[in-house]
Structure 1
Amino acid sequence: MGENSLKIVMYPWFAMGHLTAFLHISDKFAEKGHKIFFILPTKTQSKLDQFNLHPNLIKFIPITVPQVDGLPDGSETTADVPFPMYSLLRHAMDLTEPVIEGFLRELKPHFVFFDFTHWLPALARRLGIKSVHYCTISPASVAYLFRDEPAADAFLEPPPGFPPSAISLHKHEARGVDWINNIKEFGNGMKFVQRVLMAAEECDAMCFKSCNEMEGRFCEFLEKKFKKPMILAGPVLPEPPTSMLDEKWAKWLDQFKAKSVIFCSFGSEARLERDQFQELILGFELTGFPFLAALKPPIGAETVEEALPEGFKKRSAERGAVHGGWVQQQLILSHPSVGCFVTHCGWGSLSEAMVNECQLVLLPHVGDQPINARLMGGDLKVGVEVEKGDEDGLFTREGVMNVIRLVMEDGSEIGKEIRTKHAEWREFLLREGLESSYFDDFVHRLQRLLEH
């Protein structure tokens, strides 16, 4: 390792979206010669090995997830448990504090990167290590959502001093944020929002995967609020996959003309109610375009097949596929036949979509996703959001069809505008040297933190 190279411990929240986001940035550090120690649950390592592009510099440190009453045996990540059990998983991570302290004492890193383990900054400070809250959500989302409010209605509008923006929440979304914020954490009595605020207030710096050009104004707001550096790592684009698209999907997509296929994926966790699942795929059918939907089975169903509307499979056999398992999203998005991406607006999925040519249809579910949808659709104008009921949050098949046609067909003015804006942002994000210069500055700012 060089004289200025860093030693960094990564300890992300045990959710696949967080683990992969931390591993992507670990790859970028390793590319520049820095050493990473990546703590993760034992059985999860095999799922992440393929994304470790620098095994000589990124060392996985597997740990056993402690047993907690009520947490099913063998549970390691959020993929193993339903949402109401997430607080039990967070408590299990809290119980690892003595183990993490042992690792930090032994490894003596310059930094520890974390997200939900609110106790890490105090532990790191005692050991003379800098703690960095690496946020897997956008600066806009943190700026809007990280606040403890007395009632749900407060979330309908941004907090005081929030930069000018199209971002606000609908009533059903505000209720959802309020509910998540007020979940009582198992084992310590604090609310979830107190956990995330403590993590933000106690750390030495907060870091994001974003650019000043896109979200600089939200970072300025956060620097004033938390009185600490907000450091942007740039776009942190995933490396092009080294694998090929599965033959099954490559063959299926190859039969359709360029930019004609709708691809829909809602990430590893989102599950719709059965009636909304059916409205969504019936909306795809109504468009007349071919479609590939990679969706988890709806709530109450074991498989996607049992939840399909009557006669749907027969009617759409020639041009529609609904798949309940994992697919290679990055490779599908870049396939020439794909012209539209219907997304739940997870920050990772949007990053992948922004550097591809398919048009964006925004259908957010929970948490930070509505903020991302307003940022993309309202502020940046690179996608169009499907309309939902303000109170009940329900969408219709006609609503899905209309927005897809709007972005796919050449005649609409809105479609033209979002195609132009998306192309401009894509060109910017892929500009030669942009990512590298952002990351060099990111490392430089981290090194400056060590001087204080």
Structure 2
Amino acid sequence: MNTSKLHIAMFPWIGMGHIIPFATLSNDLANRGHRISFLLPKKGLIKLQNQNIYSDLIKFYTVAVPHVQGLPPGAETTADIDYSGKDPLAIAFDAMADEVEDLLSLLKPDIVLFDFAHWMTKLAAKIGFKTVCYNIISASSMAIGVVPARHFPKDRSLTDDELADPPKGYPSKTVVIRRRRHEAQALSFICSTYGAINFDVRITAALQECDAIGTRTVRELEGPMCDYLARQYNKPVFLSGPVLPQAPKTVLEEKWDTWLSKFKPKSVLYCAFGSQNIMPKDQFQELVLGFEMTGLPFLLALSKPHGANSIEEALPEGFLERVRDRGVVYDGWVQQTQILNHPSVGCFVSHCGIGSMWESLLSDCQIVLVPWMGDQILNARLLADEIKVGVEVERDDNAWFSKEDLCSAIKSVMDQDSQLGKTIRQNHARWKETLSTPGFYDDYIDNFIKNLHQL
């Protein structure tokens, strides 16, 4: 491997779910002696201070997030807004381009890793650096023009051009819809929209114009999809591996350890959907009633639903009294890694965001999937249909799931005698063994750096 050291700049989208993986990758690169310049808002920096393991090599540079119409005063990251505020935040993100250009002109990095800043390639041409569009989502989610057919609204008639077999060379048995950009109604429930620039258009432009594509995956899981992306965009695809933080050194909070330890090994259901997935109140109630129906103990870490001032206010009448000895619904941050590793926890009900996808694969828990957004839907399809390590909850034509559907999915994997549960446990054990092989992750980072040198 080329032993010269690179100067790499990082500029992720201003959501902590993007900033943290970029910071984790920065630590992995700095661990091998490479210099990192990390551009981010001040509030993002405050949350990252304790995660910079190599302060001599990783330098942070704050970029102001300008105020634009519709953006709450002081908002700088997705943590400062609710989901409805994503459009003005994205407009503000694009308005950071001039300050980013000034900084990069002074820093003169060799390579810039970015994701949603589709305008970064224009700065590269002016300043003189290479660009890697590094995506924290799976390779499957980056293959443009395809979404699972079952998640398309079935009450809308489809043209022959929309409903089709997978495109030529698409390495999946999944039935797909070919998305057409003028179909705004269909796209609105699948894709996030960032201001005047649709997410799909934004990321596609970045992938088309960058020098190389980076993705947070492994060849063992998505090798054919990575090859498909390379052919689709006619450029190299660099795999970084899962990019997960180092195993936490802190122990699980005593209150959670004490509560979980009351129950039998592998009996507790744990559910978390991430901070950006906020449910309608009626779907939230259906969810918690589904957990009640299982008869099993559960810990739910959820955001309060739309239209509710608190979690308690949103719960069905009499729910807390009925589940008081075996159920907790908590609106707040919890130590997910430590909870998944607790001996009493036996099932992870997840939205299948990319971080949770990797954490579920590396745990010993059974996996039940309730995806909400485009990339989560494809991640769930990868785990449930392609490698068969989990079960996705059934939905109706309007993407609604019932308490019965949720309960059924959980029981199907938790039943020790069911053939489905046994098959999923066996498949999951094989994948965990592969991903936990000593040196597996380090090899991916070393190869990623080799690719950067070749670029």
Within the candidate set 416, 426, 433, 2:439 is matched to: 433
Task: Using the TM superposition, name which of 303-312 and 246-255 deviates more.
Answer: 246-255
Number of residue-to-residue matches in the alignment:
440
Alpha-carbon distance change, 306 to 175 in structure 1, aligned in 2, over 3 angstroms = farther
User: What are the ranges of 5 or more consecutive residues in structure 2 without an aligned counterpart?
Assistant: 148-155
Query: Are the aligned partners of 1:261 and 1:292 in contact in 2 as well (CA < 8 Å)?
Result: yes
The alpha-carbon deviation at position 46 of structure 1 amounts to 2.1
Query: Are the aligned partners of 2:353 and 2:376 in contact in 1 as well (CA < 8 Å)?
Result: yes
The answer for the alignment partner of 2:355 in structure 1 is: 348
Within the candidate set 230, 237, 244, 1:230 is matched to: 237
SS at match of 2:74: coil
Letter in 1 for 2:420: I
Map 1:219-258; keep pairs closer than 5 Å. 219-258=226-265
CA distance in 1, matches of 2:192, 2:409: 35
CA distance in 2, matches of 1:94, 1:302: 32
CA distance in 2, matches of 1:416, 1:376: 16
CA distance in 2, matches of 1:255, 1:155: 51
CA distance in 2, matches of 1:274, 1:156: 35
CA distance in 1, matches of 2:292, 2:178: 28
The alpha-carbon deviation at position 75 of structure 1 amounts to 0.7
Letter in 2 for 1:162: Y
TM-score scaled by length of structure 1? 0.92
CA distance in 2, matches of 1:354, 1:92: 36
The answer for the alignment partner of 1:199 in structure 2 is: 206
Over residues 93-150 of structure 1, what are the superposed CA-to-partner deviations in whole Å (9 max), with x where a residue is unaligned? 1111121112111111111111111110110122110111011110011115579xxx
Within the candidate set 241, 247, 266, 2:273 is matched to: 266
Task: Using the TM superposition, name which of 325-334 and 422-431 deviates more.
Answer: 325-334
The answer for the alignment partner of 2:172 in structure 1 is: 164
Alpha-carbon distance change, 335 to 370 in structure 1, aligned in 2, over 3 angstroms = same
Task: Using the TM superposition, name which of 61-70 and 309-318 deviates more.
Answer: 61-70
The alpha-carbon deviation at position 44 of structure 1 amounts to 2.4
Over residues 323-374 of structure 1, what are the superposed CA-to-partner deviations in whole Å (9 max), with x where a residue is unaligned? 0111111111111111000000101111111111001001101121111111
1:444 and 2:453 equivalent? Answer: no
The alpha-carbon deviation at position 82 of structure 1 amounts to 2.9
Over residues 142-172 of structure 1, what are the superposed CA-to-partner deviations in whole Å (9 max), with x where a residue is unaligned? 115579xxx995377644431133364799x
Alpha-carbon distance change, 298 to 155 in structure 1, aligned in 2, over 3 angstroms = farther
The answer for the alignment partner of 1:320 in structure 2 is: 327
SS at match of 2:92: helix
The answer for the alignment partner of 2:150 in structure 1 is: none
The answer for the alignment partner of 2:406 in structure 1 is: 400
CA distance in 1, matches of 2:185, 2:251: 39
Within the candidate set 401, 416, 419, 1:410 is matched to: 416
Over residues 238-279 of structure 1, what are the superposed CA-to-partner deviations in whole Å (9 max), with x where a residue is unaligned? 210122212211111121121111000001110111111111
SS at match of 1:195: helix
Alpha-carbon distance change, 278 to 183 in structure 1, aligned in 2, over 3 angstroms = closer
Alpha-carbon distance change, 84 to 164 in structure 1, aligned in 2, over 3 angstroms = same
1:103 and 2:109 equivalent? Answer: no
Map 1:68-79; keep pairs closer than 5 Å. 68-79=68-79
Alpha-carbon distance change, 184 to 309 in structure 1, aligned in 2, over 3 angstroms = closer
SS at match of 2:222: helix
Over the matched positions of the two proteins, sequence identity in percent amounts to: 44
TM-score scaled by length of structure 2? 0.91
Query: Are the aligned partners of 2:140 and 2:222 in contact in 1 as well (CA < 8 Å)?
Result: yes
Alpha-carbon distance change, 191 to 398 in structure 1, aligned in 2, over 3 angstroms = closer
Letter in 1 for 2:449: V
Alpha-carbon distance change, 145 to 239 in structure 1, aligned in 2, over 3 angstroms = farther
The answer for the alignment partner of 1:385 in structure 2 is: 392
Say what the alpha-carbon RMSD is for the aligned residues. Answer: 2.3
Letter in 1 for 2:98: P
